Structure 1
Amino acid sequence: MKYIVILCDGMADEPLEKLGGKTPLEAARTPNMDRLAKCAEIGMVRTVPEGMAPGSDTANLSVIGYDPEKYYSGRSPLEALSIGAEMGEHDVSFRCNLVTLSEEEEQYEERTILDHSSGEISTEDAAVLIQALKDEFARGSAGERPCYSEGYTFYAGTSYRHLLIQNNGKVSELTAPHDILTRRIGEYLPSDPVLRDMMVRSYDILKDHPINVKRRKEGKNPANSAWFWGAGTRPALSSFEKKNGVKGAMISAVDLLKGIAVGAEMHNIIVEGANGGLHTNYRGKGEAAVKALTEDGYDFVYVHIEAPDEMGHQGSAEDKISAIEYIDDQVVGPVTAALDKAGVDYRMLIMPDHPTPVRVRTHTADPVPYMIYDSTRPVQGKDSYSEKSGQETGMFVEKGYTLIDRLLEK
């Protein structure tokens, strides 16, 4: 038996008046998911434990079978694993977003966050901007402003997602930028004076950088500030294979998921053109999953697709619907067809990690719908897969990290 998870990040949502009272998942055309739904187990699952912040970090740990209350040590340390950043026992890591701030105000504290992803800036452009920050912070400013080359190290990641490591640091409470879109940032800045100063200075360094000048001319959002959040210490996950008895692989464009895979001793499969955005290489991810299961000796593949979450953060119901339809047409359909053609017995789990409602443009901790399809043992399901059909079955998994046991029939 082979096992595959198709994780549609942030796909769950709320009924929207503009969609006739439907959620984006209900409004999307998903013939392949709905075909599976007719003979699959469908229910609801709580992926974020009560009292924990709803994030892709805690939620994906749950889905992959790790209790966040036991294993979670912060978001950015998982990303640090992905990019090979060295972390000592007493080091602290921070996610460093390149964000778009408003530019009309004179004081940094008076600005607002317009875009947490700087228009999904390319990895190539972002790397140049991160290098500019590294160079300027190492140089200081004629002795008047401190140099941060000692004790602080920047690492370039993917798109807008980057990393800062502080040697012998302290974990502090910080705010995710996607949680405060359009709000004045003053009350959300770090209490740590060094982190705060670095953010303020980052605006001066980046706002007139040639890349941002070019982006404005092209009608794109400038990546004009760094934003630190997601502080944490070095994580310690147990081996996925030893824990579950199956050899696993991860397919994702997001450093967080790659980091979870590294920590769990799973193999990361890199797909060309996979970028975490709306126009990622959906079909390539599906093809890589099929190859891993049918040719490369893997028993379990986790296919993570970021696009629905990003469109939820953008507040675009239309683009979120498009992302869901791309997943159905270019991942779910081709993967099931290829596995069926190959004569492979498989069990497939399709679900979001958490909701990212377009109304609030950030994550919520509400339970999400899941669907488990077994190619060898169809069951009585529902006519479609959605939040509503998941609720109607009455099936509810309280502890999200146990759902993988249902998939693996443990």
Structure 2
Amino acid sequence: MKYIVVLGDGMADEPIAEIGGKTPLAYAKTPTMDVLAKRSEIGLAHTIPEGMKPGSDTANLAVLGYDPKKYYTGRSPLEALSIGVPMKDTDIAIRCNIVTVSDDDLPYEEKTIIDHSSSEISTKDAAVLMEAIQKEMNDEIYQHYVGTSYRHLTIWDKGEVVELTPPHDVLGKKIGQYLPQDAKLREMMKRSYDILNNHPLNVERAKKGLNKANSIWFWGAGTKPILDSFEGKFHKKGAMISAVDLLKGIAVGAEMTNIDVEGADGTLETNWEGKADAAVKALLEDGFDFVYIHMEAPDEMGHQGSLERKIKAIEYVDNRVLSTVVEKMEQSGEDFRILVMPDHPTPIACRTHTSDPVPYMLYDSRVDKKFDGLYNEADAKKSGVVVEQGYTLMSKLLEK
């Protein structure tokens, strides 16, 4: 028996008048999901524990079977594991995004966040800008590290976990009231604008019509993480396929194998087919029992407020990943179970995460269930099946 999670990050949404009161998931053309739904268990799962913030960190921990209330120590420490940055017990890790703030003559506090991803900046371009930050701002207390795309890392020696606001929660707003209370962190963010705004690379990006990556933004502070081994916990040899440092970091902490796919970058132009092929190879040729296929694009499109592109991302999850995995697993004759779901909603209307329960679909190739509906938020709610503790879904998938 082989086990697969197909995770469309932020795929869930709310009804949208523009598409007839449907959600993007219900509106998208998803023929593979439609076929599987008729033979699956469909329901709702609460992936965000009460009292915790709705982030991909807590939600993906839950989907992987780790109770966030027990295992969560912050987002950035998980990303530090992926980047390979060793953390001391006294270190604090902080996410260091490169964002786009308004290029105007207003004081820094009066500027507005235009884009949390700086036109989905490439890792190559971001590394050039982070090198400038490192040269000007690294010292004995604060060290800055290159991550992936717009997502980078700062390690604060003997720091503290301070309250910080995610940049995707501040889109279109003046940033003053959302800046860190800590004076040094606030000063570094302001200084970064002076370093980056007129950097030659940003001047060239502006000429090409791309958003300048002209400020760092701190958020997601946390302490050194401690996760139990996935194989020790569930007795399955597991692999992670993702382009995002957060998911790769969770895999490192859980002692899973990270499978890198060439061209996988977490955007709408990611190597969708490469992820599907890598998952099948891991299961059928490389001896893995479990594969977690994470796709960031639906979440990114939600943050951008792009309805058309979010629908397209969901369709790609269906017809460029799920369809290939199902087809090749069926051809192999190997029994398999697939869990299809988002980690959290990222509604187009608010462009950030919410804590609402998410629809899940659990398919077993051996079972001919009959479900009178499709895989979407409304039909999942109609099913009456609710998993109150999302982290228990993994045990349900693995038949524990």
Q: Same fold (TM over 0.5)?
A: yes
Paired amino acid for 2:18: K
- 1:246 match: secondary structure: coil
1:357 aligns with 2:338: no
Displacement of 1:106 in angstroms is 2.4
Write out aligned runs for 1:329-408 (5 A).
329-408=319-398
Query: Which shows bigger deviation, 371-380 or 263-272?
Result: 371-380
Structure 1 position 42 matched with structure 2 position 42: yes
Give the alignment's TM-score, normalised by structure 1.
Answer: 0.97
Q: How does 1:5-404 map to 2 (within 5 A)?
A: 5-137=5-137, 148-404=138-394
Code of the aligned partner of 1:386: N
Return the alpha-carbon distance in structure 1 between the equivalents of residues 247 and 112 of structure 2.
29
Asked if the contact 1:123/1:157 (under 8 Å) is kept, the reply is yes
Which SS does the other structure have where 2:323 is aligned? helix
Pairwise CA distance, 1:383: 3.3
Question: Take 2:189 and 2:250, find their aligned partners in 1: how far apart are those partners?
Answer: 27
Residue 378 of structure 1 and its aligned partner are, at CA, apart by 2.2
In 1, the alpha carbon distance for the partners of 2:10 and 2:286 equals: 30
Deviation for aligned residue 1:103: 1.4
Give the secondary-structure state (helix, strand or coil) at the position aligned to 2:152.
strand
Give secondary structure in 1 for the equivalent of 2:172.
coil
For residues 135 and 104 of structure 2, what CA distance do their matches in structure 1 show?
27
How big is the shift at 1:366? 0.1
Gaps of 5+ in 2: none
CA–CA distance in structure 1, aligned partners of residues 225 and 358 of structure 2 = 26
Give the partner amino acid of 2:114: L
1:94 match: secondary structure:
strand
Q: Give the Cα separation in 2 of the matches to 1:116 and 1:107.
A: 19
Structure 1 unmatched ranges of 5 or more = 138-147
Aligned twin of 1:140: none
Q: How many angstroms apart in 2 are the aligned matches of 1:105 and 1:32?
A: 52
Please state how far the C-alpha of 1:194 moved relative to its aligned partner.
1.0
Q: CA deviation at 1:210?
A: 1.1
In the TM superposition, residue 70 of structure 1 has moved relative to its aligned partner by 0.5
Name the CA distance, whole Å, in 2 between partners of 1:385 and 1:357: 17
Cα deviation digits, residues 58-87 of structure 1 (max 9, x gap):
000000000000000000000000111111
4+ residue runs over 2 A deviation: none
Alpha-carbon distance between aligned partners in 2 of 1:184 and 1:106, rounded to the nearest angstrom = 11
* Identity fraction in percent: 63
Provide the secondary structure at the position in 2 that maps to 1:93: strand
**Count of residue pairs brought into register by the alignment:** 400
Q: Post-superposition shift, 1:201?
A: 0.4
SS of the counterpart of 1:404? helix
Deviation for aligned residue 1:381: 1.7
Q: Which shows bigger deviation, 372-381 or 360-369?
A: 372-381
1:348-405 superposed Cα distances (whole Å, 9 cap, x missing partner): 0000000000000000000000000000112112332100111010000000000111
Deviations along 1:299-340, one digit per CA (max 9) or x if unpaired, are: 000000000000000001100000001111100111100000
Q: Which moved more, 1:148-157 or 1:258-267?
A: 148-157
374-383 vs 336-345, greater mean Cα deviation = 374-383
